Amino acid sequence: MTEVMKKRRRAGQRIAHGESAWHLTWRRFRNHRLALLGGTVILVLVLGAVLAPWISPYEYSRTNLRRQFNAPTFTVPTDARLLGHCTRPAVLFWKCGMHPFGTDDLGRDILTRVLYGGRVSLLVGFAAGLASTLLGGLLGATVAFAAGKLDAVFSRFVDTMLSIPQFPLLLILTGLLASREVSFAVRLSEILGGAKSIVVIIVVITALSWMGAFRLVRGEVLSLRERAFVEAARAIGASRRRIIFRYLLPNTAHVMIVQATLMVGEAILIESGLSFLGLGIQPPAVSWGNMLSRAQEFLYYPNGIYVALFPGVFIFLTVLCFNFVGDGLRDALDPRFGHRV
């Protein structure tokens, strides 16, 4: 701030200065009520997942065979034998023996499992969403800037990948990496141990979802590279890498941020589908998807519906919120769409 401005401010005068781009974006985003709501809900879900051990009086994997398929209940049973194992007698209003979302086929508390499952599902969503967008964006920017043969080959490859239905490919890849007979997969489980299925899912989803970001960023860069500021950068002798990272990619940020947000939701959906089929997150790890893997069988049991209901509601709610936020970000970041909807 210049001396003049400081002097004026001391004098209580208002200084007219332009808003920063981020401030402007935030102001537009704030006006998008659903996006704001979505963002808040996501924050709450993340907090719930991170703080799970301090919120729930139960352990997520400890079974209680005296209380299978319990309906949601807020009354503590008088018979102490029914309580099962708790890590502490109560957390605030949640006493040991209460099951706000009911219990599953092994008597485990569903809310506790939803909280812990959120850790895995949200982690997979954030990691795969971010990684696939960065990978796709980087590749897209690089080939669009290089142009020529590299661009043609990559674009053709992406077109081909997009004409194969994704889900069977996901099945093949997860099956491959989960196998105990592939030496690479075995090495992987030695290194990662119990977290292996989580890492595998993130890698596989990333490997098959970067094409969206690739196309978007490639399209943007194709028009950006002809612009005067890129030409100027080239004229002052900026290296190719510098042009891509300092000039092109930052200018595609608005596309990438929206894409990454939507991809988080998409990745959570893919994870849930794979885990539902038994190829995703493997027990004892818990995710919203693998909580549903046997849910369909339990529909016919008394109170079996709660096993299916709550994890699905949380997947749905999370993806919905990411879509709201993505929509809000699109409106906020892209001035052309500002007045639509």
Interface with other proteins by CB under 8 A: which residues?
34, 157, 159-169, 171-173, 175-176, 179, 181-182, 265, 269, 272-273, 276-277, 292, 295-296, 299-300, 305, 308-309, 312, 315-316, 319-320, 323-324, 340
Least Å from the CB of residue 126 to other proteins: 17
Distance in angstroms (rounded) separating the CA atoms of residues 167 and 178:
16
Structure tokens at 158: 């992406």
CA separation, residue 41 to residues 73, 241, 287, 317, 319 (Å): 24, 39, 19, 9, 11
Alpha carbons 95 and 172: distance in angstroms, whole number: 44
Q: Which is nearer to other proteins, 135 or 161 (CB)?
A: 161
Chain centroid offset of residue 325 CA: 12
Smaller CB separation from other proteins, 224 or 281: 281
The CB-of-320 to other proteins minimum distance in angstroms stands at 4
Beta carbon nearer to other proteins, 124 or 173: 173
Least Å from the CB of residue 23 to other proteins: 28
Helices (H), 147-247: 148-162, 166-178, 183-192, 196-224, 228-235, 240-242
**How far apart are the C-alpha atoms of 35 and 327, rounded to whole Å?**
7
Tell me whether residue 146 or residue 169 sits nearer to other proteins (CB atom).
169
We find the least distance from the C-beta atom of residue 132 to other proteins, in angstroms, to be 16
Question: Rounded to the nearest whole angstrom, what is the least distance from the CB of residue 165 to other proteins in the complex?
Answer: 4
Question: What CA–CA distance (Å, rounded) separates 307 from 238?
Answer: 58
> Is the Cβ of residue 45 or residue 269 nearer to other proteins in the bound state?
269
Which is nearest to 39 in space by CA: 189, 264, 210, 283? 264
| Gap between the Cα atoms of 101 and 73, Å rounded | 7
Q: How far is the CB of 244 from other proteins (least distance, A)?
A: 28
Q: Which is nearer to other proteins, 164 or 191 (CB)?
A: 164
Closer of 21 and 182 to other proteins (Cβ) = 182
- Closer to other proteins by Cβ: residue 143 or 230: 143
For residue 266, the minimal CB distance to other proteins (Å) is: 10
| Full DSSP string of 239-288 | -HHHIIIIIIGGGGHHHHHHHHHHHHHHHHHHHHHHHHTTSSSPTTS--H
As given in the structure block, the two tokens for residue 110 are 């569903």
Task: Tell me the HSE value of 88 on the side-chain side, using a 13 A CA sphere.
Answer: 10
Least distance between other proteins and beta carbon 272 (Å): 5
